[in-house]
Structure 1
Amino acid sequence: MLTDTAIRKAAARDKAYKLSDSGGLYIHVTPAGGKHWRLKYRFGGSEKLLSLGPYPAVSLAEARKARDDAKSALRDGKDPGILKKLYKLTKAQHSEDTFEVVAREWFALNKSKWIEHHADDVIRSLENDIFPLIGSMPIRDITAPLVLAALRLVEKRDAADTARRIRQRVSAIFVFAISSGKAETDPAAVVLGAMAPVSKGRLPAITKLPEAKAMLKKVEGEVAHPVTKLAHRLLALTALRPGVIASTPWYELDAIEDDLWLVPAARMKLKLAQKRDEARDHFVPVTKQVREVIEALRTLTGRGPMAFPNQRHAHKPMSENAIGYLLNRAGYHGKHVPHGWRSTFSTHMNETFPADRAIVDLMLAHVPKDRVESAYNRALHINRRKELAQLWADIILEGAPPASELLKGPRR
């Protein structure tokens, strides 16, 4: 049996020689003084040799454990030499499995399930907030503290809800990696309890009409890109969801007929099965003020595919956060969010026209909870919706300058 002392004292000789331990394990000493662990064994009736690495990089204890593992493999009818080659190959493959590589494989597999706008949001959130920090790291080496550190930077933007959505996506990537043999744990799953809480309840919204009108005036006086201001005004006029506004393609606006803008079900906030149902298409009345916004916008972005393009990538939609940041700069952080215009519209119109409650819900594209109500809401009531939309536009923009004036204001 070998000892560390005996191995250290083994001097070089004119010819190579070996120092035996037990079970076929020995040290091969070269004429240059190098010492290498080797294991002699028999498999399939043939004598074979397995290299276990140099001493002292591989200690005596580690060499003996490798010998014992090899013997265990032999008892199971497996060749330790083949297992070592497979291990090296697998390790080499895994070294190429960075988080970004695996994440893009996951995205390619799943993007067909999502509408284009959501798919763009998913990959953009990873490219902006995750890949720069942990994208180049082997996915097996990523720990919970590293994931949490990346999410903390998102939370610091006052975007706790966004951080949680990104965490879900990162967790799904790790689950995909585990099932593919590229990772063993999901560190994104354990960080949830350490993340900043998200305030529950209704989103903040200014619902009193005088305050809402004052807010619109203040927001439009901010230093900002006119496209963002026009998006905000269109949001206030139509009470559409911010994501629908942000992802508007020009071909929808170019196809407006009879003062109606058709938003396909595929772009609405619906379950996937409903997104494929043309009966769920949403009709937005195009008031005089909405048309002014569209015409002003056309001078800025009319040559591209998107009505509200991303400033860096014209073929992609603007970030939904752009309108939120504009509201925050105007002093409405925690008081009103882009989605809040739906509450402003709903509150005023329901209080002013209580008999039209069902039609107001239809204008908000609310999905009915029961079949009876759903059948009622399939009746479009287009004429009354146009009347209510024009009444709302006249009220909320009373005293406001035309949309074309927003092109002249201070720009960021």
Structure 2
Amino acid sequence: MDPFEETLRRLKESFNTGKTKPAKFRAEQLQSLGRFLQDNNKQLHDALAGDLGKLTKLSSAFIRKEPFGLVLIIAPWNYPLNLMIMPLVGAIAAGNCVVLKPSEISKNTEKVLAERLPQYLDQSCFAVVLGGPEETGQLLKHKFDYIFFTGSPRVGKIVMAAAAEHLTPVTLELGGKNPCYVDDSCDPQTVANCVAWFRYFNAGQTCVAPDYILCSQEMQERLVPALQNAITRFYGDNPQTSPNLGRIINQKHFKRLQGLLGCGRVAIGGQSDEGERYIAPTVLADVQETEAVMQEEIFGPILPLVTVRSLDETVELINRREKPLALYAFSKRSQVVKQVLARTSSGSFCGNDGFMHMTLSSLPFGGVGSSGMGRYHGKFSFDTFSNQRACLLSCPGMEELNDLRYPPYSPRNQQLLKWVLGSQSCTIL
């Protein structure tokens, strides 16, 4: 029997109740921790002396942000320029040398980056390398000081395993199935306009796009005609001829998406054209959680509607799945949005809007759990590519004061140390 199973189960269940989240609970626990240190001062002192022969030591410090060194940035195909340049800006600002690996799937952008970008950067510090999965695997065998990867969770695991061979830190910007909860209080057309815009933007090939809608049966019936109205307004009566609707990146992904069109009931769209790699803006109604379209990130212009009976059921469904990169909630009642925010976990959260949080450089962007790790955008990009080096500088000429910390520790010196440390921050070493 696993000796840790019961303890881990108990702690996970407590976390899921939200017990640790209120500020009052956190403050109480920190106060209790402080009492532990105070009440058990002698026992801890004796234990440290018995184990290591060490005392408490006064220190002061500052942080120096330094470049890691040689950084590898692996970009995806869905936004092949933006998701290459944005992390590159942070890596350059932090002072690193960079190897850039664009996606071979977005071959036209890859070609321009490989041919043109080196003409603008110092080639002794920056390089663009090309290749597919085999070449990328070979590249990952080399030791880098930091790796920044944007892509699927499946490939993210490969990158992380390769980085572990060299104990290389990583930022993984992955994906997942982003839920979108629509409360009954909403105006369906307002929600439909927003959701249709950021679901079908770039033909749905966006990592933060809503992957499925959770709503009541009544809201589904109101939302479907509103979504049809929004799609027609954005892309016309025949979206295939619209210059504002993108195409699927390649035949492999087209076939994958075509196979998902049989899930649920096609309420809007459903048409496809393999020659053009076109899939119509599609809404699938009455989708079951067990269907294929709910088992993987869609990454295409298909929007499933899953009916739920309550907010509690919504939260329970979201929480039993992997943590998403983004989570959306629509409601005219602010307490509903706040409940969804408080009772779930995701890389980012947006209430009553689309992915506008992505445009704010003051907000960090990144995932949690299977949707990724690490943050960037704005100053967070600089911090991501910087080693936060802890530094201590002591002033010369303070040797007489330093004598207090040197053994032997007389009763007088111990009293002086306790007095000093009683009014100063300290680190237990």
TM-score with structure 2 setting the length? 0.22
TM-score with structure 1 setting the length? 0.23
Structure having the higher strand fraction is: 2
Structure having the higher helix fraction is: 1
